[in-house]
Structure 1
């Protein structure tokens, strides 16, 4: 099999997915065209992998999936984890204690599931997306002796309390990385773990120059991969900080199949021009 020399990486929520949490026909067709034109198509999300499967299983050409904001990379065709950076258990325990004391909700993401610490149940708002009969591992063991934790998702809907919570966790648990995929929650990973680091690791492992990497995102947890990529593209609904970091800001939103427009306008059209030249 000929090794691909270009890579396109796509965030899911707010980017590749529309507001109904679906991949439009236009976006799906554009991904297939990228594959046909020699791109390694990669999905990268803050979600645990189990909540990405309903999407990547629809694209048999997708080989690599980055989940939990870079905490894990899986070769889904070989069903093999190729990169894994869980949070150290002692750091997880410290953050759980802070959440218990402050009343913040705390979700733990493992390689094959997720749980909410306060209820030890799968998030009911997300289970409708799991349309295949996968086994969900509920993380009832707070010492994480059986399942590692790649990401913690800490929710606090009061903006001032969330700011204070972030400051406390950063001070008390400095060995973790903190970002946001929502303005009402914190995404917490092992120190140095983010989507950009994961994309860099994968590109180097595949021998792909960063100038041949395109990245698509919309929120703060996408910043590092947008900054790493040679071409960064965001839809009109991206948050302002992300819009400022991108090379291209599309007039179309994620709900208007902006990703398809970006692919055809800046990747496939450019490749066609290079061939003609």
Structure 2
């Protein structure tokens, strides 16, 4: 049996132009040919994961929404953790009431909803990155969804730092973590990339101590702590680079540098 290779996408698998470089694609394909399994682990929705990973392989298991939705290589659900739509609507209402430039986005299954307010440029930028269109919505519509896998808040780093503190105080039962300086992820407490990779490893009958993982930010930390071979990208925050083996940054084929050194 081969090994599992887990990888974050933004800031890790793709470079600052939102591309997987030819060298990194080749390094991952070589591992797949060897019988190893490549598993994207992302805060993204499944369709937005495949908009990137589809360039490397046509089917793979995946961890979406920071671990809230875990799918096998056939797209069957291995794990699904979500908050009630009423709680999501309350959080969005709180954010909207602040009217301070922070924009809410809600993800349910493979759908992405957002509030069409003043800062639509933030949503448009995210659409360009993930190559997928968000649907304009309202708090009333959010409250009627079946369930919510994730809330994503967009705004300036300082505003999101303050929002993170406030939401952690108001909703201690939720896991609230930054995936980028301008992105704040809100999911239920049990959700993490660490939990997601455990589900995948169990499904494959693999020991996590034999697995590899690549990441670049705070929402990758639990995944990196879970595996035997964690690697942090050269573009990661300095405090994370002190905790894990560091490779080159995402603009210089950091993943390929490590994978090509494996026998």
TM-score for both structures, normalised by structure 2: 0.88
1:15-43, Cα deviation, whole Å (9 max, x unpaired)? 11011101011101111111122321100
Check whether the contact 1:109–1:115 (CA below 8 A) recurs between aligned residues. Answer: yes
| Unpaired segments ≥5 residues, structure 1 | 273-277
Matched with 2:145 is 145
| Unpaired segments ≥5 residues, structure 2 | none
Does residue 69 of structure 1 match 2:66?
yes
Distance across 1 between alignment mates of 2:145 and 2:85: 9
Report deviation, 1:59. 3.0
Report deviation, 1:123. 3.0
Distance across 2 between alignment mates of 1:208 and 1:56: 22
Q: What secondary structure, in the 3-state scheme, does the structure 2 residue paired with 1:254 have? A: coil
For 1:23-42, list aligned pairs within 5 A. Answer: 23-42=20-39
Q: What secondary structure, in the 3-state scheme, does the structure 2 residue paired with 1:237 have? A: coil
1:79-103, Cα deviation, whole Å (9 max, x unpaired)? 3222111122232122112201212
Matched with 1:217 is 215
Check whether the contact 1:40–1:62 (CA below 8 A) recurs between aligned residues. Answer: no
Structure 1 residues 204 and 165, CA gap change in structure 2 (3 angstroms): same
Check whether the contact 2:177–2:219 (CA below 8 A) recurs between aligned residues. Answer: yes
RMSD: 2.3
Distance across 2 between alignment mates of 1:241 and 1:189: 24
Matched with 2:15 is 18
Distance across 2 between alignment mates of 1:231 and 1:18: 22
54-63 or 108-117, which moves further after superposition?
Answer: 54-63
Report deviation, 1:113. 2.5
Distance across 2 between alignment mates of 1:207 and 1:116: 38
Report deviation, 1:124. 2.0
214-223 or 50-59, which moves further after superposition?
Answer: 50-59
Distance across 2 between alignment mates of 1:37 and 1:144: 46
Report deviation, 1:109. 1.8
Structure 1 residues 144 and 213, CA gap change in structure 2 (3 angstroms): farther
Does residue 263 of structure 1 match 2:259?
yes
Distance across 1 between alignment mates of 2:69 and 2:154: 22
Matched with 1:49 is 46
Does residue 169 of structure 1 match 2:174?
no
52-61 or 106-115, which moves further after superposition?
Answer: 52-61
Distance across 2 between alignment mates of 1:136 and 1:154: 14
For 1:104-183, list aligned pairs within 5 A. Answer: 104-119=102-117, 123-128=123-128, 140=138, 141-146=141-146, 148-157=147-156, 159=158, 161-183=159-181
Report deviation, 1:125. 2.0
For 1:78-97, list aligned pairs within 5 A. Answer: 78-97=74-93
1:94-122, Cα deviation, whole Å (9 max, x unpaired)? 21122012122111122212122245x89
TM-score for both structures, normalised by structure 1: 0.84
Report deviation, 1:136. 6.4
Report deviation, 1:155. 2.4
